Amino acid sequence: MIYLPIAEMPVNVLLVLLVSGAVGFVSGLVGVGGGFIMTPSLIFLGVPAPVAVATGASQIAATSFSGIMTQTRRKAVDWRMGALLSVGGIVGSASGVALFERLLRLGQLDLIISLLYLFLLAGVGYLMTAESYAVWRGRTHRGVSILRRPARTIAHTLPLRMPFPRSGLYISIIPPLALGFAVGALAAIMGIGGGFILIPAMIYLLRMPTNVVIGTSLFQVLIVASLVVILQSTATQTVDLVLAAILMAGGVIGAQFGARVGAGLRNETIRGLLGLILLAASVKFLWDIVVEPEERFVLGGGLW
């Protein structure tokens, strides 16, 4: 047991290490950031939601930095695109933190977080399950066709176009900025990295080649997560350094093991399983806000 100075509660170090390790393992296994599993797990362990969201961001920064080191070696980062996404992300996360503070004061933070998680988990869970089901049914050709890049999208027609040599693109800078903004805002409110929204959007909307997508999204996630940590610690003072250190240790180790195990396993099976877990979790979120609560009153207003 160790007492967390900001969350003002004792936690079992081994338990938190185990949970963060497990989340890191899953994220390494499937290739997602894991923030969207980590934050609800922390809340489930009794960590106040604001502390869980703000502290989770520091763990995301750690995991994404270790990912970038690997991706840089493979020259799989489009720095120019990453910088644009980050500029959008910086503005987005700043607005997100401001909104977070406002919602906290209004007492509606938990509802908004529940709703966002509901849609996010249901959406991602459905996509993963559907994809792996399709593969399992043997219709692999569909999976291949998804990854084929159509020639032109809105990104090619909007003004303010510039070249992105590493991605081999010549597109408008508006979609990357907007995408960065949206993901940054979500990251600040929900305590997620946002990679699992960024990656599909980069492939389908910006038509980036898949080999640079992961590295570039990691770069944006790192910048945004670091900024969220600094903003949350100045605006709401909900970042717990002790909790963060435990999460980072568990998370990065778990992720490395997960990545290694994942390399030797059938990807569709894992993705399908995770998809089902996410769907189940979204049902739980739905249940909590649809079913009449036993206790009609809640404490709110900034103090938990």
Partner 1 sequence: MVRRLLLLLALLLFVPPARAQNPADIANDLPAAVVEQQISVSSDYRGSFITVFGHNPDRRGRGDIVVVVRGPNVSTVVMRKRREFGLWINGDPVRFAGAPSFFAVLSNRPLPEIASAQLIRRYELDPAASARLESGTGSADPSAYRAALVRLRFAQGLYRWYVGPPTPERRSGLSTYPGGLFLGVVRLPANAPIAQYHADAYMFRDGRLISAQRIPVSVSRVGIERRIHDLATTQSFLYGVVTVLLALFFGWIAALLFRRT
Q: Which of 38, 252, 270, 278 binds partner 1 (CB under 8 A)?
A: 252
Q: Does 229 bind partner 1 (CB under 8 A)?
A: yes
Q: Which of 150, 151, 152, 297 binds partner 1 (CB under 8 A)?
A: 297
The angle subtended at Cα 239 by Cα 234 and Cα 244, nearest 5°, is: 145
Instruction: Answer whether 181's CB lies under 8 Å from 90's CB.
Output: no
Given the rule CB under 8 A, which of 148-156, 206-214, 273-281, 287-295 is the region that contacts partner 1? 287-295
Looking at residues 159 to 198 of the shown chain, list those that interact with partner 1 (rule: CB under 8 A): none
Report d(CA 99, CA 54) in Å as an integer.
13
User: Which residue shows structure tokens 């980590």?
Assistant: 38
217: contact with partner 1 by CB under 8 A: no
Per residue in 169-193, is it b (16+ CB within 10 Å) or e — as a string?
A: bebbbbbbbbbbbbbbbbbbbbbbb
Nearer to partner 1, 106 or 162 (CB): 106
Kindly state whether residue 151 participates in binding partner 1, applying the rule CB under 8 A.
no
d(CA 90, CA 85): 9
d(CA 6, CA 187): 21
Q: Which is nearer to partner 1, 5 or 163 (CB)?
A: 5
Pick 3 or 170: Cβ nearer partner 1: 3
Of 92 and 275, nearer to partner 1 (C-beta) is 92
Size of the site for partner 1 (CB under 8 A): 60
Site for partner 1 in 25-84 (CB under 8 A): 58-59, 61-70
Any contact of residue 123 with partner 1 (CB under 8 A)? Answer: no
| Residue 231 · residue 97 · CB < 8 Å | yes
Quote the least distance from Cβ 290 to partner 1, whole Å. Answer: 6
Helix (H) or strand (E) holding 26: helix 13-30
- Residue closer to partner 1, measured from CB, 148 or 296: 296
Q: Which stretch binds partner 1 (CB under 8 A): 177-185, 197-205, 208-216, 223-231?
A: 223-231
**Residue 246 CA: distances (Å) to CA of 42, 76, 242, 278:** 12, 30, 7, 24
Neighbours of 237 (CB within 10 A): 12
Question: Would you tell me which residues interact with partner 1 (CB under 8 A)?
Answer: 1-3, 5-6, 8-10, 58-59, 61-70, 107-108, 110-111, 115, 225-226, 229-234, 237, 239, 241-242, 244-245, 248-249, 252-253, 255-256, 260, 289-293, 295-303
